[in-house]
Structure 1
Amino acid sequence: MSRFKAAILLILGAFCFSTTGVFQSIAPEEASPWIISEARLSVGCLCLFLWCFFTGKLPQNWKTLPWKYILLCVLCIVSYSPLFFFSVKAVGVSTTAVVAIGVTPLWTATIEKILYGNDPPIRWYMATFLAIAGIVHMNAESFTGGTSLIYSLLPIAAGFVYGVLLVTTPKVLEYLPAETTMMIVMGISSFVMLPVLFISPFGWVFTKQGILVVLGIGIISVGLAFSLFMTGLKYTGSVIGSTLGLAEPVGAALLGILVLDEPVSQLQVGGLHLLFASIVLLVLGQIALQDFIFPNKKNKSTKI
């Protein structure tokens, strides 16, 4: 697969991720972040299991799987979900998605540098600078009105956990397809989080509105999202993938504005433009250059 096509898959996956906050916002009032997290993992795992079963992608030898990396991915998934959903309740869909995903490229590059000594390409610095500028614009008015410091830090912590996930997942993708990887990770994560059923009410799941939310968040924002995103990540690398993941806050902000009727200021509109520019810089810059102008030039590195 060319890196340009992989980048498109990453962006499509990121837009599917962006529906998460919207589904939570339309969930019944008694829906807690814990139950939503468990529901999205369970339904997402079931969706991916059915896909893997009918396409012959289930593992043949479970003993040879890279369990060390799989369990680290599980820890990231279990940690990320409550961090994200509690943040949404406190600071809103747009702000949570923008901050959590916006800081992820910085965390990812830092982790890659510490663990493997890898330096991002120059183009990444330019794109990340635009992204940070966009984040500053979009959040200039967000953390006002008495928002607790702990809730302000939650999306930043979620970004760190997501960065660890993006660095770890490619290790598992060396052994398994993206769909199979996420099916296993989500299945174990769902099992780990089962105790939340005893501490939070979940009767709302069986209402019409609850069923819509659970199916939507499981199939679209988990099953489809992770399959597309992780497949693209395999061919672009974690640092570039995390930056292209900025399509998620762009999508979340647009959905928050268009679907949820969240207020928008000129600063937020300017921030969206900067975030979009950072994505365009990566996708239509060096990726397009290498795939179309020099299509036969081999590059052993996964960096773009």
Structure 2
Amino acid sequence: MKKKKVSIIIPAFNEEESVPLLIAQFLELKAKASFDFEVIFVDDGSTDNTFQVASGLSKKNAFLKVFSHRTNFGITKVLETGFKQSSGEIFVFFPADLQFLASDIPKLVSPIIEGDADLVTGRKEGRYEKKFVSQVYNTLSRLLFRVGVKDLNSIKAFRKEVVEGMALRKDWHRYLVVLAANEGWRIGEVDVTLTPRRFGKSKFGFWRIPIGVLDMISVAFLLRYSRKPMLLFGTLGGASLFSGVIAGIVAIFLRVFGTGFRPLLYLVILLILVGLLLIVAGFIAEQVAQLRAEFDLLKRSRH
């Protein structure tokens, strides 16, 4: 049986000290792995010698291919570059900071090779920074998306087909598992070792927390309503119309049995107009969703 080829995509930003040790891990893996692999190393606009060090090592190691971005675009853009440059049937997302072990990659790809899963994510085991933040993020994600894995933000392996046609916006690599599950791909999870960073500084800053929460809300919104927008606009519009009717009944009651309350009349008009506008917006959004569905169908037919 022909061996499966695995493309290991590595994003790197200012990791010059880590690169030689990282490639040494892949040299050890190459001697033991039951699959063929290539390493797609993408320098994401580093300001140190990361690209130069990696390029030098690529001349000695045929499995290593090095690419670079002119500035720091972020991990999602790195993955897109990696997807385009890869020739493997299975992709692996693997950071360059030495916190994960290359020896864990066979555990990730094995369920895919054996046909038991389409995407396998690593469940981090060990001591590491940001553990509390990671636990909160994963708990919120599980509650919001109902994905049956414990760790969404880790190294992962997945079939090439999983990301073909998948639109990834900036920083949405964190929700690759969620997006894949939404498309019906089979998701698996295995334990992987995570160790403290040995060189350099963590790229994780405070602002990644609120940005991550907002991204989570955006993904949840799109997954729930992008294909059925009337569900959102119709519900809000119906609620506004219903509130307008109730307010109108109260306004009539006050007018008949009291002195009336003119601001309440204005509220009735506002609620009814807002309700009607939301429902009209829902119809327009449904047309957009239908066009998107037809475009997706056309795109799939061309593959």
TM-score (norm 2): 0.30
Compare the two structures and name the one with the higher helix fraction. 1
Q: Which has the higher contact order (CA 8 A, sep 6+)?
A: 1
Compare the two structures and name the one with the higher strand fraction. 2
Structure number, greater radius of gyration: 2
TM-score (norm 1): 0.30
